[in-house]
Chains A and B, each alone.
Chain A
Amino acid sequence: MSKLHTHPNIADPDGFYAELLAVHDGLTKAESDALNARLVLILSNHVGDREILSQALALAARTARAVA
């Protein structure tokens, strides 16, 4: 069974993070939500592996922080 990588894997973490925020610059909340959705779909297709995708979805769902 394929296993989701959870060790650090991005060569330039600070640069990536800045770029991630930069694409949202000047967008409304609705535009940002749409961009995030497109990004999820693009990355998901790149991954492709259904097992990995299920593990990623589960990881994202279970690390939700309680919101007051």
Chain B
Amino acid sequence: MNKIFETPLYAYRRSPDQDASRPVRHPVVIVGAGPVGLAAAIDLAQDGVPVVVLDDNDKVSFGSRAVCYAKRPLEILDRLGCGAPMVDKGVSWKAGKVFFDERQIFGFDLLPEEGHKRPAFINLQQYYFEEYMVRRVHEMAAAGAPVEIRGRNRVVALGAHDDHVRIEIDTPEGPYELEADWLIACDGANSGLRRMLGLDFVGRIFEDNFLIADVIMEADFPTERWFWFDPPFNRGQSALLHRQPDNVWRIDLQLGWDIDKEEEKKPERVIPRIKAMLGEDVKFELEWVSIYTFQCRRMENFVHGRVLFAGDSAHQVSPFGARGANSGLQDTDNLCWKLKLVIDGHAPESLIASYNWERVFGADENILNSTRSTDFITPKSEISRVFRDAVLDLAAGHEFARPLVNSGRLSVPCVYDEGPLNGPDAPGLPHRSRPGAPASDAPLADGWLMDRLGNRFQVLAIDADAPDRLEEGGIEVEILHLSAEDNPALADRYLGKQHSAVYLMRPDQHVAARFLSWDEAALRAALARATGRA
């Protein structure tokens, strides 16, 4: 078994807070040091907001868990200063194959567009992901950033007040209390904080079980996503094979509802299943085995006064489509800049309501896609199986049926259409870069556009006259002057039919508003709207 699971990454250390005569107040406390909590901590701390992260454990999470990261989250990780080690270690992929019964029915290539720094997807074990983020937190802390992770600090009680939260924490040396102006609950699908507040978590339960086995093997399967419907080695069910770094392969086998979970997890049950799939002669070693069921559900509201829910604690989807961790990273990407503005007094507290609007919108999109995938993979009635099999039979020889095959709709970035912070749009500019959309990357003479964007409000003046600075109510807007001459990717993604454009970009790299030329009054109004001041 991999040593990484056994080494404490943030061992328990006594904090002076535990010896304080009354509970110490912190601006932001984050509960949960998984991918989402760590992303929130890095995001806030690199912007100067002091954060304390509490986790009931002191190690990376056990087993590979979330393994598939999409381009947009990789761009967010770049903004957080930890994209490079993930992409360097991860396995980039863009192709896949779909099998039905005994044969391959088609292969696909996601054909990622040229001119982006980051690939369509990487696969990376969650323990590496967390390790790199923890390393980033430690580097930041060593450089003086106001961030710390407190291992083996379990929150056992919570009291919500109008302008703060009080929590009671258990540690190996006994309990203590803390106060927080804001608390971000990143404590996962079984969120204890959600339960302590007595909040709902409604949705649809899927009556199915899936076996995850991570195996280590030297194999010559290509770096592709392989998905089987009703294969001979797992009759009536589905199967998935995906490559991870270090010769680790993710195998996901659907088992059905009426099974004995403890029995199915035993190596003597698992190994024959894997041999049936890979062949009797393939040498492999089991790294991790787990059985999961899933639900598609979300909280009605992600914002409860000063308690903010993000990631799986707020919403849960099926794993098909890589929409769990990927959407959690988009949550904190959306939340942290708003929280910073509110804490600094540059935006009203009501700006936080837009986090709820935008990320509930994102969660609903993910739940819809995930539910549809699950209904295709696991037909719920006789007629739905008849249509599913008809689609698969046709797909082998007829291209038209392939778009109907749904083995998971892979995560794409969320566009906040009709969002409450969106300002004006202008005619003739590309649809993809409309208000609410995340920026599209483009190559520049000296690097990538995405590396120039984020962490503050910016104006992107493309072949447009613009002054060198803009300040509004304490918010400094950076002006980037760019030219799309000799840059067809930038022209295609930001100008379309027009010859110039001025984009107002949010700190999370989403478009707030856009114009054909510099219009100071309109930009100030759009900035006011994007910060909840109008």
**A binding-site residues for B, Cβ under 8 Å:** 33-34, 37-38, 40-42, 45
Residues of A within 8 A of B383 (CB): 33
B391 close to A41 (CB less than 8 A): yes
A38 close to B390 (CB less than 8 A): yes
Secondary structure at the B interface, as helix, strand, loop or mixed, is helix
Interface hub of B387, B389, B401 (most chain A Cβ within 10 A): B387
Of B390, B400, B401, B404, the contact of A34 (CB 8 Å cutoff): B390
Chain B proximity of A41: nearest CB distance (Å): 6
Residues of B within 8 A of A45 (CB): 400-401
A41 close to B386 (CB less than 8 A): no
Q: Cβ of B282 < 8 Å from any Cβ of A?
A: no
B394 close to A34 (CB less than 8 A): no
Residues of B within 8 A of A41 (CB): 387, 390-391, 394, 401, 404
Q: Cβ of B393 < 8 Å from any Cβ of A?
A: yes
Which 10 pairs of residues, A with B, have the shortest CB-CB distance?
Answer: A37-B390, A45-B400, A38-B390, A37-B386, A37-B387, A33-B386, A34-B390, A41-B390, A38-B394, A34-B386
Interface size on B, residues (CB 8 A): 11
Tell me the chain B residues, 359-401 only, with Cβ under 8 Å from chain A. 383, 386-387, 389-391, 393-394, 400-401
A34 close to B391 (CB less than 8 A): no
Sample of 25 A–B contacts (CB below 8 Å) = A33-B383, A33-B386, A34-B386, A34-B389, A34-B390, A34-B393, A37-B386, A37-B387, A37-B389, A37-B390, A38-B390, A38-B393, A38-B394, A40-B387, A40-B390, A41-B387, A41-B390, A41-B391, A41-B394, A41-B401, A41-B404, A42-B394, A42-B400, A45-B400, A45-B401
A41 and B393 alpha carbons, distance in the complex (Å): 11
Residues of B within 8 A of A40 (CB): 387, 390
Interface hub of A33, A37, A40 (most chain B Cβ within 10 A): A37
A40 and B390 alpha carbons, distance in the complex (Å): 10
Residues of A within 8 A of B390 (CB): 34, 37-38, 40-41
